[in-house]
A and B are shown apart, each in its own frame.
Chain A
Amino acid sequence: MVTATPTSARSETARTRRPRSSRATQRIGYAFIAPVAIGLAAFYLVPALATFGLSFAEWGQFGGWTFNGFENFATVFRSDLFWRALLNTIAYLLIGLLVLPIALLLAALLNRPGLRGVSVYRTLYFIPFVTLPVASGMVWKWLYNGEYGLLNEFLGLFGIQGTYWVANPATALIAIGAVQVWTQIGYYLIIFVAGIKAIRTDVQEAAEIDGAGSVRRFRSITVPLLTPTIFFCSVINVIATLQIFDLIYVMVQSQAANPAFNASQSIVTLFYDTAFVDNDKGTATALAFLLAILIAALTAVQFQLQKRWVTYD
């Protein structure tokens, strides 16, 4: 996604005062960008356009394709699996958003003046994010195990009857969504910690002198001044969760007989199945295209809504 580096605006203006651009410089410029430009064109731009075109085509078994209008989209819309996967994906998205308040709260706590062990905490919180998602999925699947899982053992201490968390259609999605949150906390924590650090300390101090307690300072100063960062994280988080795949694949999919299969599939796992298990490339292309539209639409909606709650000073 697009990032903001503070340098861009400044040097954009400085650039225009250079008249020197000989033919040789031009050639060097093209030569320097050629490797990436060719690679991006071949592997990204052309494929993106191809997907657009091929979502309106039927793919031949051995290559080749014929135009078939909106047939692929009709197939997708007629499929119960698609609507189920769409609803599931939205559910993952909503659960996934919980990472923002959690990370924000932890970041606020980590920024307490004079707190010891900040770097230790930060390291520990960040580890799940760098851990191979496949490995995290396996560990959590084991913790969630219905018979020998540690979670049920722990709940048993309080007399709570556990379940087969990732095989029970009622709990699988929530259980996987929770792991998704767990893996992402460290990432947003780092962004929020940096964001809070950037808030001018004189504002904080003035509020403290005025007698505002730390909870109140958090609510009335930190959060409002941090809304641009929160907005940015929310956009990134929505885009990432809409593409959830690894954890579902590891925790549910590889067990074809899992009763919670349909209750936990996302659009991307459905895409993978359609394209590479059922080998129905036309329908899969339409699915991918719809996902891209969904991502673009939800991002656009967020950009619209930001005017109501994001404060830029």
Chain B
Amino acid sequence: MTDATTNPAPTRRRGTARGTRLGGVATHLVLVLGAVLMAFPFVWQLLTALKSQAEAMTVPVRLLPQEWLWENVARVFEVLPFAEQLGVSTVVAIARTVGQLALCSLAAYAFARLEFRGRELIFALFLSVLMVPSQLLILPQYQIIVSLGLLNTVGALILPGLFSAFGTFLLRQFFLGLPREMEEAALLDGASRWRIYWNIMLPLVKPALAALAVITLMNSWNDLLWPLVVNTDPTVMPISAGLTTLQGQFSTDYPVLMAGSLLASLPMLVVFILLQRQFVQGIALSGSK
């Protein structure tokens, strides 16, 4: 980076202005280069998705498709139960998100505001769950799913992810930060705890709920290991696991692989574009994915 602010004093003012402009150009140059590196793989994904298999595998590589084969998108739905898998991913993501928001916020409110015996101890146990890497839990969780007879069901995908120590912790921090006055006035008026939670407190933590929601949606949509373990039937796989099955049979059909992977990541991209602010806040708040 060039910057002329270190020039000797007499020329400093002009030097600074020119230096800043030069620095600005250099900054943009680096940032644009980086942005191209970040975005280009997706452009290439799209371009490959619309080529014929033969054209995708020609040397030297052609950038644009000779013929734009939009029907490749339809082929994804033929080689995979793609619609079902998108459906599974959507149902699981929504169920986990709604479930976490409801259950975690309820518990978080209790931890922040209600006094009951053993509260600190139970909360410490909640925190200890945060420290355990998920691989340590998978085998016993798998055994539970087996004994519940839930293998190859949507329930298996939803169940463990319905409960979140992280979500409870995050929301508790928010509840703790809220002023008590409104709540105490409502208590004096005879409002029940449930009403206070639902009508007064919950609306006040909306930003935190939104942040938790987008993080949960994303984690659920992108999860791979757990679905691979519990659901081997393609029709009840989420799209993440479903895509990996394509690789075996269609390992050289790159247009279909690219079309499928593009379609599978699209819903989350749309959510991200629409809810960017919540995403950024979720990241800034959370520390973890």
Contact = CB atoms under 8 A, between A and B. Distances in A.
Interface in A265-285: 268, 271-272, 275-276, 281, 284-285
Contacts of B41: 128, 136, 139-140, 143
Given A3-B169, A190-B284, A138 B243 contact: yes
B133 A295 contact: yes
A122 B279 CA distance: 12
B45 interface: yes
A203 B182 CA distance: 39
Given A42-B144, A132-B221, A281-B139, A37 B228 contact: no
Interface stretch (B64-72, B73-81, B121-129): B121-129
Contact of A130 (B34, B39, B224, B272): B272
Interface string B170-194: 1001101100100000000000011
B59 A148 contact: yes
Interface string B38-64: 110110110010000000111111000
Interface in B109-164: 109-112, 114-117, 119, 122, 125-141, 143-144, 159-160, 162-164
Contacts of A48: 129, 132, 136-137, 140
A285 B137 CA distance: 9
A301 interface: no
A174 to B, nearest CB: 16
A134 B38 contact: no
B247 A138 contact: yes
Interface of B: 1, 3, 5-6, 23-24, 27-28, 30-31, 34-35, 37-39, 41-42, 44-45, 48, 56-61, 103-104, 106-107, 109-112, 114-117, 119, 122, 125-141, 143-144, 159-160, 162-165, 168-170, 173-174, 176-177, 180, 193-194, 197, 218, 221-222, 224-225, 228-229, 239-241, 243-244, 247-248, 251, 254, 257-258, 261-262, 264-265, 268-269, 271-273, 276, 279-280, 283-289
Nearest to B12: A211
Contact of A7 (B106, B139, B174, B251): B174
Contacts of A285: 139
A252 B35 CA distance: 27
Given A45-B129, A51-B137, A1 B287 contact: yes
A206 interface: no
Contacts of A115: 24, 27-28
Interface string A24-44: 011011101101110110111
Contacts of B130: 1-2
12 contacts: A3-B173, A5-B170, A5-B177, A37-B122, A43-B159, A44-B160, A112-B23, A124-B35, A132-B222, A147-B59, A236-B288, A250-B247
Contacts of A82: none
A-side interface size class: 35 or more
A153 B136 contact: no
Contacts of A250: 244, 247
Contacts of B273: 123
A47 B137 contact: yes
Given A5-B285, A240-B289, A132 B114 contact: no
B135 A28 contact: no
Contact of A276 (B57, B221, B229): B229
A78 interface: no
Chain A interface SS verdict (over half): helix
Interface stretch (A163-171, A241-249, A305-313): A241-249
B243 A11 contact: no
Given A2-B287, A44-B129, A254 B122 contact: no
Nearest to A26: B116
B117 A130 contact: no
B265 A131 contact: yes
Given A36-B163, A254-B244, A133 B61 contact: no
A232 B287 contact: yes
Contacts of A109: 27, 30-31
Contacts of A33: 106-107, 110-111, 122
Contacts of B258: 138-139, 142
Contact of B133 (A106, A138, A186, A292): A292
A21 interface: yes
Contact of B44 (A3, A20, A143): A143
Contacts of B115: 18, 20-21, 25-26, 29
Residue of B117, B133, B177 contacting most chain A CB atoms (<10 Å): B133
Nearest to B9: A211
B126 to A, nearest CB: 6
Going nearest first, the 9 A-B pairs with the smallest beta carbon separation are A7-B177, A39-B163, A47-B140, A29-B116, A32-B110, A135-B261, A21-B115, A29-B114, A5-B173
